Amino acid sequence: VTIHRGDYRPPEWQVPDIALDFALGIDETRVSARLSVVRHADAPAPLLLRGDGITPAEVRVDGSVWNDWRMEGGDLIVDLGERTAAMVEVDTVINPATNTQLMGLYASNAMLCTQCEAEGFRRITFHPDRPDVLSRYRVRMEGDKAAFPILLSNGNCVEQGAGEGGRHWALWEDPWPKPSYLFALVAGDLVVNRDSFTTMSGRKVELGIWVRAGDEDRTGHAMQALKDSMAWDERVYGREYDLDLFNIVAVSDFNMGAMENKGLNVFNTRYILADPDTATDMDYDGVEGVVAHEYFHNWSGNRVTCRDWFQLSLKEGFTVYRDQSFSADMGSPPVKRIEDVRLLRAAQFPEDAGPLAHPIRPDSFQEISNFYTATIYNKGAEIIRMMATMVGPERFRKGTDLYFDRHDGEAATCEDFVKAIEDGAGIDLTQFRLWYSQAGTPRITARIATDERNGERTLHLTQVVPATPGQPEKAPMLIPLRIKAYDLDGGHGVEEEQLVLLDRTEMAVPLGHYRSPPMLSLNRGFSAPVIVDFAREEGELEWLAANDDDPFARYEALQQLMLDTLVTAVSGKASDAGAVVDAIRQTLTGSAADPAFVAEAVLLPSEAFIGDQMVIVDPDAIRRERLALQAAIGTALESEWRAILGQLAPAATLLTPLAKGRRRLRGVALAYLAATGMGDASELAFGIFSGADGMTERQAALATLAHGDSKERAQALDIFYRRYRDNPLVLDKWFQVQAWSLRSDTVAAVAALAEHPDFTLTNPNRVRALYGALSANQAAFHQADGAGYRLIADLVLALDPKNPQTAARMIPPLGRWKRFGDARAAMMKAELERILAQPGLSRDVTEQASKSLLG
């Protein structure tokens, strides 16, 4: 069944209050729900309560047993006759232990926890379960005190006590009305890291991070990130926290990163636990970013929520933009921007260019879980960023203030957000709204024309928004481009950056008088999520890579230079590494440069991104040419790389941006040296691996060794495994580095690792570590005999009956078949067909596989 955005109707019944009573048990939990319902429809209408895999033990209305109900699919329809209000009670029994979908109430490591977004609440009890039905929750939970010493839910704990036979109970109340997707409950044997934060109005908030015993020493970074986020949201958006308690619980088995349940965030352990011995600098940044993201949802998501799931980007795009801005402020803004753009290009551009392309506000879906995508999240964030760029920070803040004022306590739409920015910031966003409805990455071409008589230069821009499934024709978008034209012989005077608003198919922008052709810096800071084609003269990219005053533009110029060289080589033409080597040398020796920026800038584009530049991707040629260029750079700059590695590594406990940057650059230097195949490279890597005092250097060295076939490789993998076999998050890394390997036998290695006693399909992190890494390994996944495709399809079929959400996330790489030539396309389509032929396939996998097959 396809659900359409245009079919939205306001709910006929609201549920202003709800009381839940849980009798907890790992393999049997009894749930009694009391819903006070109020009719909003003018005429009598049956009460539709959604259910998924549950049956009502008993239904009561206003205190009496009620028989006027029926099931429709999984849903419960209660006929309330002429009533305009009623108290509806339903009892259900669920089994958390067998809930392998990890949606609803489930067991993870002997603890009970919930995940309700988007439609998991209906797996706990019957409810309208739509985000525009907001209720005040009162939750009583009772269970065995030994098994579940800690009982948590949203809001405040108002009462607790002991019960019969070693049982105990707690009563929680959340004063803020909320949609059912924000409900949460946790019960288990947990320890807490406590702290507090005093808000700007002087409210003291108790903070708690709850983990399994033994993990508490690894929660310090998450706690600091939480306090920093709370202060940042006050300072930058004027948003204050609104409860006396803020709890976070970390669980090992979790489908996504984390969840913003009101006052009780639930996290994947990988975004909470960090210490220098087990987490890399990147892991640390991930913790900080996700803690901030979930905290920021308290306003962008919880206080103002979504009317329906088509509006998902209302909260996700805005919240990603907010967490990106926070992380930029906590570290280096240019480096953060580079990382965000790299992710956008790696995950979202391919989505926009493939069969699953959808606008940030989709028009239809079959399964909403399939729409927690890079488009909704990351492109959504870019759309918010463009609005902020066009109006500047002060006016943008006026817009967001108005948005929060107007819609506090409401379930809002993307249109409400845009309107608030329009009214608050004072800008007309009529045409800009197309970013919400049109899918596809716009392509801009740029060209500079010269009037030979007077030296006047004009920038000619064109835009094309490519056709996407269901959207053959596109209208021109409003695209804000930050540009600067550098004058190399001083005839023009001071150059100023300007913001060009490209709002039509073709546009001419007068640049003024330049004696010699200006150096054009275009889409500075990546001001718009577009692809730019600009035929450069020789030497231009080198000049910009060295001289542009926008660090992102410097990065971009060097990347483009590398990309041009690689694409030329892959297409079989003679290419010369000389310009790339010189530009990298320049970047390395630019004295004031931040090492994190240098590390990002000198890194070669990924195999996948090189492939994205080609009509038909040749994964083997890309691997070969990328390795060859890497080796050439490694050799030509050997002494530079050795000098970087020769310096003392910063102590792993030192987490300043500078220390992190230096470690990152050391990792890049090691990879370049190893690519040369120099005799001592494995020894060097093994030395770093063994001597490392933290995970950043240790993992970088291990990943480098994993590409080769030295005896040190086997040794290091073995040492690593034995040291960390009892730490699931680190063991994930052990699986991951092997699946990332550039060796030619990686597909076979992944197949063997899937049989390893530590591999399990029940933990999504482990599945992603092994199979997710394989699909990200372009030449391995696209191995010519189709073994990579087969392995992924086998996984999807094995995982779907247990966890359809995570299974469906593995499908998109198979949907890119159009781009990989006939032979590969036939094999990829055959695997999609094999998946679709499986009886009893989930809605999640059916939607992704059938859309992917259409191409």
Q: How far is Cα 103 from Cα 112, in angstroms, rounded to an integer? A: 12
Number of other residues whose CB lies within 10 A of the CB of residue 473? 7
B/e letters for 83-114, b = 16+ CB within 10 Å, e = fewer, are eeebebbbbbebebeebbbbbbbbbbeebbbb
CB of 63 to ligand ARG, least distance (A): 36
State which residue, 361 or 474, has the beta carbon closest to Zn ion: 361
Q: Are strands 456-464 and 506-513 parallel, antiparallel or unpaired?
A: antiparallel
State which residue, 260 or 732, has the beta carbon closest to ligand ARG: 260
Number of other residues whose CB lies within 10 A of the CB of residue 602? 24
For residue 432, what are the contacts with CB-CB under 8 A and spacing of at least 6?
A: 386, 387, 390, 418, 477, 478
Catalytic residue among 142, 260, 294, 351: 294
CB of 506 to ligand ARG, least distance (A): 39
CB of 118 to Zn ion, least distance (A): 11
CB of 318 to ligand ARG, least distance (A): 11
The region that residue 144 occupies, defined by phi over 0 for left and psi between -120 and 50 for alpha, beta otherwise, is beta
Query: Three-state SS across 733-783?
Result: HHHHHHHCCCCCCHHHHHHHHCCCCCCCCCCHHHHHHHHHHHHCCHHHHCC
For residue 538, what are the contacts with CB-CB under 8 A and spacing of at least 6?
A: none
Number of other residues whose CB lies within 10 A of the CB of residue 310? 23
CA angle in degrees (0–180, nearest 5) for 339-340-341: 95
For residue 350, give the nearest of 819, 799, 681 by alpha carbon: 819
CB of 590 to ligand ARG, least distance (A): 38
CB of 257 to ligand ARG, least distance (A): 6
371 binds, among ligand ARG, Zn ion, none (CB under 5 to 8 A by kind): none
Structure tokens at 299: 């306003």
CB of 293 to Zn ion, least distance (A): 5
State which residue, 254 or 734, has the beta carbon closest to ligand ARG: 254
Q: Is 11 helix (H, G, I), strand (E, B) or coil?
A: coil
E strand or H helix at 446: strand 443-451
Catalytic annotation present for 495: no
State which residue, 314 or 853, has the beta carbon closest to Zn ion: 314
340 binds, among Zn ion, ligand ARG, none (CB under 5 to 8 A by kind): none
CB of 694 to ligand ARG, least distance (A): 28
Contact in structure between 85 and 39 (CB atoms under 8 Å) = yes
Q: How far is Cα 709 from Cα 749, in angstroms, rounded to an integer? A: 13
372 binds, among Zn ion, ligand ARG, none (CB under 5 to 8 A by kind): ligand ARG
CB of 354 to ligand ARG, least distance (A): 20
687 binds, among ligand ARG, Zn ion, none (CB under 5 to 8 A by kind): none
Contact in structure between 352 and 344 (CB atoms under 8 Å) = no
For residue 745, what are the contacts with CB-CB under 8 A and spacing of at least 6?
A: none
B/e letters for 353-370, b = 16+ CB within 10 Å, e = fewer, are bbbbbbbbbbbebbbbbb
CB of 753 to Zn ion, least distance (A): 31
Q: How far is Cα 98 from Cα 424, in angstroms, rounded to an integer? A: 50
118 binds, among Zn ion, ligand ARG, none (CB under 5 to 8 A by kind): ligand ARG
Q: How many residues sit in the footprint of Zn ion (CB under 5 A)? A: 2
Q: How far is Cα 678 from Cα 634, in angstroms, rounded to an integer? A: 9
Q: Is 43 helix (H, G, I), strand (E, B) or coil?
A: coil
State which residue, 89 or 316, has the beta carbon closest to ligand ARG: 316
176 binds, among ligand ARG, Zn ion, none (CB under 5 to 8 A by kind): none
Structure tokens at 363: 């028009």
Residue ranges that bind ligand ARG, judged by CB under 6 A:
115, 117-118, 255-260, 293-294, 316, 369, 372, 805
524 binds, among Zn ion, ligand ARG, none (CB under 5 to 8 A by kind): none
State which residue, 256 or 374, has the beta carbon closest to ligand ARG: 256
Q: Max CA-CA distance within the chain?
A: 97
State which residue, 39 or 130, has the beta carbon closest to ligand ARG: 130
CB of 119 to ligand ARG, least distance (A): 9
115 binds, among ligand ARG, Zn ion, none (CB under 5 to 8 A by kind): ligand ARG
Q: How far is Cα 458 from Cα 710, in angstroms, rounded to an integer? A: 57
State which residue, 527 or 805, has the beta carbon closest to Zn ion: 805
Structure tokens at 496: 């100023």
Which range, of 314-322, 399-407, 599-607, 613-621, touches Zn ion by CB under 5 A?
A: 314-322
State which residue, 174 or 316, has the beta carbon closest to ligand ARG: 316
712 binds, among ligand ARG, Zn ion, none (CB under 5 to 8 A by kind): none
CB of 371 to Zn ion, least distance (A): 13
Written as one letter, the residue type at 60 is R
Number of other residues whose CB lies within 10 A of the CB of residue 231? 14
575 binds, among ligand ARG, Zn ion, none (CB under 5 to 8 A by kind): none
For 333-394, strand residue ranges (E) read: 364-365
256 binds, among ligand ARG, Zn ion, none (CB under 5 to 8 A by kind): ligand ARG
State which residue, 148 or 403, has the beta carbon closest to Zn ion: 403
State which residue, 283 or 294, has the beta carbon closest to ligand ARG: 294
For residue 471, what are the contacts with CB-CB under 8 A and spacing of at least 6?
A: 359, 438, 439, 440
State which residue, 315 or 666, has the beta carbon closest to ligand ARG: 315
Q: How far is Cα 771 from Cα 319, in angstroms, rounded to an integer? A: 29
Q: Please report, in angstroms and rounded to a whole number, the separation of the first and last CA atoms in the chain.
A: 20
258 binds, among ligand ARG, Zn ion, none (CB under 5 to 8 A by kind): ligand ARG
Structure tokens at 793: 């399809």
Site string for Zn ion, 315-344 (x = CB under 5 A): -x--x-------------------------
CB of 55 to ligand ARG, least distance (A): 23
State which residue, 311 or 846, has the beta carbon closest to Zn ion: 311
Contact in structure between 759 and 751 (CB atoms under 8 Å) = no
Which range, of 313-321, 393-401, 463-471, 545-553, touches Zn ion by CB under 5 A?
A: 313-321
741 binds, among Zn ion, ligand ARG, none (CB under 5 to 8 A by kind): none
Taking only Cα atoms into account, the Rg of the chain, rounded to an integer number of angstroms, comes to: 28
Written as one letter, the residue type at 509 is V
- Residues involved in catalysis: 294
Which parts of this chain interact with Zn ion (CB under 5 A)? 316, 319
